[in-house]
Structure formats: structure tokens, C-alpha cells
Amino acid sequence: MFRNNYDNDAVTFSPQGRIFQIEYSEEAVKQGSVVVGIASKKHVVLCAIKRNAEELSSYQKKLFAIDEHCGIAIAGLTSDARVLSNFMKQQALGHRLTYGRAMPVASLVDEIGTKAQINTQMYGKRPYGVGLLVAGVDEDGTHLFEFKPSGMTEELVGCAIGARSQMARTYLEKNIDAFADASKEELIKHGLQALHETLVQDKELTIDNTAVGVTGFKEGSKNKAEPFKLYEAAEVKQWLDAISESKEGNEGEGMDVDE
């Protein structure tokens, strides 16, 4: 009886000026597991919590390398992310072939922004059900972009999207001053700390469900990119140990604040 009549397609406004299909697609992003991105002057870090469908299955990938200088983290429908990441890989490679240089991150993000917006303005299409964090380096420095299914993109210093990501964003806001000059290691630890904030009661970051991706400038170089590197499984152990150590150290004084 009180059915919403304005959410049957992505091209019809509601009388309140909203487009429900786009809002629903952003809801899909909120249901994906959380990813965090932080940029310093020298590095950009992506951290993700991976989910497994059941105990016996493997964990769904959350971080993807797009090109030497660029990678993405996804939250939402993985199948939609596949389309976008394949497209981004093609664009980045095409740019390398025609110009002999790495594609500027801003132009790459513009391309997917345009592509996603078209889906919100054509009858018979639907918005992508996935949000991205795009991390990369180019001549202008390090970059972290957020991409939303509406086609909106913006550049940030730190960002988190996905389930319970507000907790991570709050952590990032608290520590924002530390990021710009942070080392690669510090940046990764901040990322994992932010991830940790989003966890529900009896969940923990483990080597199975945590992934870290890093790109940045080579040591002592202004414009040479360090290839986007993905750390998974045993490779993330060192950082997980480091943050749980610092947790234990703070536990005593932090206890009553948490309660």
C-alpha cells in the first residue's frame, strides 16, 4: 500500500529530489567489509578486512593492483569491482603505450567517475554496487581517491568505506596530523589500527583476513614509483604483532575510557 514508487529505476527523481537506486547502491557499499586508505607525502597505504563465505572457503580478495603506480581497495559487489578494475587496468596500460608514462591518478579516477555517472542517467542501467579507494603516485605526488557508485570522486588524506567504517574514520580524524610525515611502517600501522577499530566484539585481525597494499616513491627519488605491492597472509604478521603489542601496552590506561 505504501510502496515506494520512485525506486524502480535509476533515472527518476523522487518528489524530495532523491534518486533511490543510487542511495541503495551506496547501501551495498556499506555492507561490504571495511577498507581503509591513508596517504603520506611519500606513500599511500590501503588496508582491508577480507571475508570468507564459510569456514571452509577462501577469503575474498579486496585489494587489486591496477598498474605499477596504482592500486585499488573495494567495498561492495566484487563482481562490479571486477568490471571497474579491468577497465582501469586497460586505461592505465593504454596510457603507458601511447604516452610512455604512468597515467596520472586523477585522470584515471575521472574516467571511472564518468563511466559510473552514465549508469545513473540512462534508462535500463543500474549504478555500480561498489565503492573504491584508489591509491597511486604520479608527478604531483601521492594520491588517495574515494569513488562512489553515484560517480562522485574526491581526493582525501585518509578514508574508510564499508561496514562500520565510521569507527575507522573517527580514528583517522583523531590521528590526521601524524599522516603527512609518517614513514611507510607507521602508515601501515595506522591503517591496521583504524581497521581494528571497526571490529565487532569477538573478532580479531588475523593473517588470513587482513590485507595491506602499498605504493609510494622509491627511497631518495622524487618521481620514481615503487611498484604497488600487496601484502597478504604471513607477510602482514609483523604489523599485526606490532599493533597488538602496542594495544597491550595501552590496555591498562585505555580500559576505563573504553567502558
Partner 1 sequence: MDHRPQAWGRPRDDVYGAYDHSFMNTNSHPNQHTQQPLVTGTSVLAVKYKDGVVIAADNLGSYGSFARFTDVKRLHTFQDTSVVGFSGDISDMQYITRHLHQKSIEESYASSSANKKSRLSAANLHTYLSKMLYRRRSKMDPLWNHMLVVGFDDDEKPFVGSADLLGTTFTAPTLATGIGSMLAQPLLRTYAGTDEEAAERTKEEAIKVIQECMKVLFYRDARSQETYSLAVVSREGVEMKTSEKLENMSWAFADRIKGYGTQTV
According to the binding rule CB under 8 A, does residue 67 interact with partner 1? Answer: no
- Phi and psi angles of residue 90, each rounded to the nearest 5 degrees, phi first: -65, -45
Scan residues 220-259 and list those touching partner 1 (CB under 8 A): 223
The verdict on 166 binding partner 1 (CB under 8 A) reads no
**Contact with partner 1 (CB under 8 A) among 101, 218, 229, 237:** 101
How far apart, in Å, are the Cα atoms of 109 and each of 44, 63, 146, 199?
16, 16, 9, 29
Q: Which residues, 79 to 98, sit near partner 1 by CB under 8 A?
A: 97-98
Please give the helix or strand (H or E) that residue 46 lies within, else none.
Answer: strand 43-49
Smaller CB separation from partner 1, 135 or 212: 135
Indicate which single residue of 61, 104, 164, 185 sits in contact with partner 1 (rule: CB under 8 A). Answer: 104
Nearer to partner 1, 36 or 112 (CB): 112
Helix (H), strand (E) counts: the chain: 6, 10
Torsion from C-alpha of 255, 47, 21, 79, nearest 10 degrees: -140
Contact string (CB under 8 A) for partner 1, positions 127-146, x = contact: -----------xxx------
How far apart, in whole angstroms, are the C-alpha atoms of residue 95 and residue 136? 15
Beta carbon of residue 155, minimum distance to partner 1 (angstroms, whole number): 10
Q: Confirm or reject binding of residue 99 to partner 1 (CB under 8 A).
A: yes
Q: Which single residue is written with the C-alpha cell 581517491?
A: 145
- The residues binding partner 1 (CB under 8 A) are 97-101, 104, 106-107, 110, 138-140, 223
